[in-house]
Amino acid sequence: MSQTCLVMLLETFYIDIRANKWYNFAILTHKGGTMSATPDQTLKFTIDFNSVLMNHQMPPEEKIPKLLQLQTRLDELPNEQSKVLFKLQSNLSIGQCYVDAHQKYNLTNVVEECKILLHKLEEYDFAHQPQKVWGYLAERFQSYYGELIDLCQAKNHQRDIAYCHQEVARIWDRAGNESNCVRAFVLSNVALSKVPGKFALTQAQLVEQFPDEMEYIQQIFSTRTLKNDPIEQTEEYIAVYDDAERIIQGLIEQQGRMPRTPDQYWNIKQEVLELHFGITWRSPRVMNPGVRF
């Protein structure tokens, strides 16, 4: 099989178990016109990893240790860029398995490692690819960060979501696409507005600063009209927010599984704030009667 055929095969080999979308998982890097990782190594890893990931008879909690074990083989790849790319995509897949297995408390390390890997991959790609393809690279990184945002949504961590949108905005700015840069910046502000104690521009301020994107900004804010308890903006709440989150995550880890519904998580949060800090907090369910969660 020629190198070109092998690359085409690997570029369309991976399929996501939740969304049935083809992953651009096994893109092989080229250096001086030759593969930087041998076909046997990359193809064998792809097939072995995929055979576990795509096994619909295997529960996700059984897949996780097998996938983690397979991931250790990536250290054998001779090229650092190939290693980073495969590790990034395998981490995103393993993170989704944590979600499926209701082990969302394990996502923190996955998210942090993906951040590091994305930075490494970005510096390699933008340094080694001609500027004319930077728009394509930005689209690719938006897709990677989109998957990472899905994992952050699963653990309801708006701070990480804001970070991901900020990184997407920076990458689009690097690629010279002002419109996409602004749109990612708007989304980061929406996420930041949900983090107690963090400054975020209002809808009016964003429209004033980016009048050409007024329609997009109005659309984004019109779909995010859920009310939060006003106590979340008080100094008392902001001062204990991080401590409360640590206690909540500790209780979840003791239980050994993530709450299956938003209400279960909100009940834990309500009890922690009341018992540990004397704060009476109303959940989004209470603040938004009639809304389905």
Q: Of the ranges 18-27, 129-138, 172-181, which one carries the lowest mean pLDDT score?
A: 18-27
Is residue 121 domain-shared with residue 246, that is, in the same domain?
Answer: no
**Residue 186 belongs to some domain of the structure:** no
pLDDT digits (tens, 9 = 90+) for 225-283: 567 788 887 889 888 888 888 898 888 777 766 666 777 888 889 999 999 999 999 98
Is residue 29 domain-shared with residue 110, that is, in the same domain?
Answer: yes
Domain boundary among 137, 155, 173: 173
| Residue 30 reports pLDDT greater than 80 | no
Q: How many domains does the chain have?
A: 2
Is residue 169 domain-shared with residue 240, that is, in the same domain?
Answer: no
pLDDT (0 to 100) of residue 37: 46
pLDDT (0 to 100) of residue 278: 93
Is residue 234 domain-shared with residue 143, that is, in the same domain?
Answer: no
Taking the mean position of all CA atoms in its chain, how far away is CA 210?
Answer: 26
**Residue 181 belongs to some domain of the structure:** no
Is residue 95 domain-shared with residue 237, that is, in the same domain?
Answer: no
Is residue 44 domain-shared with residue 167, that is, in the same domain?
Answer: yes
Domain boundary among 138, 173, 208: 173
DSSP-assigned states of every residue in 209-231: H-GGGHHHHHHHHHT------GG
Nearest to 15 by CA among 61, 46, 58: 46
Is residue 50 domain-shared with residue 167, that is, in the same domain?
Answer: yes
Domain boundary among 173, 195, 219: 173
Q: What is the pTM of this model?
A: 0.68
Return the beta strands (E) in 103-210 as ranges: none
Domain membership of residue 265 as a residue range? 230-287
pLDDT digits (tens, 9 = 90+) for 192-230: 888 877 888 888 999 999 999 999 888 888 765 567 788
| Residue 122 reports pLDDT greater than 90 | yes
Is residue 24 domain-shared with residue 128, that is, in the same domain?
Answer: yes
| Residue 165 reports pLDDT greater than 90 | yes
What span, in angstroms and rounded, lies between the C-alpha atoms of 51 and 67? Answer: 10
**Residue 178 belongs to some domain of the structure:** no
